[in-house]
Structure 1
């Protein structure tokens, strides 16, 4: 039985070989080859897709990195522009300060304003030679006086402070005392009734007391007087907005 099986398998093999040799099996081979080629094409396409995806992923990472580098560069450029603008502003203010109508003997220390609430904080202190009692100006305008220092900070009392008293006079020569009032008001007080006092008169330091002379404080916007009082008073509009000050100058030497 086993020998018969081998015999018929041998005969069948010869027949298949002959049929294949003369092309009788082409109709059976083509579908198989088509199926095989289709599978090969899909496998190749899948492989190409995987390779392309890897390439796209790598390109995406490179593009993302390039954008991040660009953003960092733009941020750095913006910071440099801000620094340059601040430096130019400081340089211009220094030029104006040196050109202010003040005695040439005055020595100035420029200081950045750190903040303004009731008093002004500046970003210099003992380390920079700042001392309590020094006068602070912006050009020829009085900003205030140093009342407290630390190593790197100083506190400036402003004309609107209720603790300040500044001997002053008007552009017409009327003398009085500049004092602060609640609510941030500045008043010219203790002006004798006989003294000439008019709206828009400029108020400057008289040079008496702890403040150098001829520093502008502001102008008169309102006058309060009566026939009974010995003195009259006037409300002053400051020459500068203290909240908008960014760079001030400490007079270190008169």
Structure 2
């Protein structure tokens, strides 16, 4: 028994000091009296402990409520972050839809302004084989698309249909190395051929060196190759090569249409309607 008292004497002393005010209150609290010497000693000894306990309790309470508030803030932040992502996704979709509508309006306006039937189509594939630069469109024979028909956009020519089935068709691009387009200079009416090089600008060929051609001249289709109607935009001259000898001059033509960014196109009938459904060559025959 004595060993227990010695072991827990500090705890018992503190407990008695804490219980003494409570007992005094119960016995004399209703009558009321001034604290005596013992009361003052007990209060002086227990006050720091009480303040410490109150501080610990207040700190724990603040920590608990702070954690609850922080958790709620985190949940609100996560919810706001999710809503922000949804809004950004919606804005992106709306922006893409608006851009598509603008392209389609331009395509429709061009189709209405140009005489003759046109078939609107969407690019659905790109040929990965380097031997033939082509794209696939979602219109085919069932829609009235046949080999040899020209493909254009409001900005200029794109290429010619080289293969078609019931629901789709392949279009060889003007930039393909086998492509040849009969062209003329819009300003001076000089004739020539725009040849694809596989990448980069088109090559100006078969133009007499005595012709009036300048850098920056607009190049349009001449309508003599049996594929493209006359007057369609091909591009502009960006470089000329005039030699002292020879019959022809060379140069580069920057295409009006960036064929790497095609999304919607128009398919137009060949100037020679009777040949539209017949076999077509790999590229349009240029002028000779």
Aligned residues: 229
Cα distance in 1, alignment partners of residues 78 and 199 from structure 2: 50
Secondary structure, counterpart of 1:99 in structure 2: helix
Q: What secondary structure, in the 3-state scheme, does the structure 2 residue paired with 1:181 have?
A: coil
The structure in which a higher percent of residues are strand is 1
Alignment counterpart, residue 80 of structure 1, candidates 78, 86, 90: 90
1:143 aligns to 2:158 (yes or no): yes
Per the TM alignment, residue 148 of structure 1 is displaced from its structure 2 partner at its CA by 7.5
Q: CA deviation at 1:58?
A: 1.0
Q: Is the 8 A contact 2:185 2:213 kept in 1?
A: no
1:188 alignment partner, one of 204, 207, 216: 204
Residue in 1 that maps onto 2:180: 165
- Deviation at 1:82? 2.2
Equivalence map 1:1-254=2 (5 Å): 26-100=36-110, 101-111=113-123, 119=133, 125=138, 135-145=150-160, 157-171=172-186, 172-181=188-197, 184-192=200-208, 196-199=211-214, 200-207=216-223, 208-225=225-242, 229-242=246-259, 245=261, 247-251=263-267
Gapped regions of structure 1 (runs ≥ 5): 1-20
Structure 1 position 64, deviation (Å):
1.6
TM-score if structure 2 supplies the norm length?
Answer: 0.61
Compute the displacement of 1:253 (Å): 6.5
By how many angstroms is 1:177 displaced? 2.3
Is the Cα contact below 8 Å between 1:113 and 1:246 reproduced in 2? no
CA distance 1:38–1:249, change in 2 (3 Å): same
Assess, with a 3 A threshold, how the Cα gap between structure 1 residues 38 and 56 changes in structure 2: closer, same or farther. same
Please state how far the C-alpha of 1:184 moved relative to its aligned partner: 1.7
Q: CA deviation at 1:201?
A: 3.6
The alpha-carbon distance between structure 1 residues 104 and 27, as it changes in their structure 2 partners (threshold 3 A), is farther
Q: Deviations over 1:88-124 (max 9, x none)?
A: 22212222222224225212124489899975767x5
What does the per-residue CA deviation read over 1:178-229, in whole Å, with 9 as the maximum and x for residues that have no partner?
A: 11236623112123567x4422443223342444443211123444455764
TM-score, structure 1 normalization: 0.67
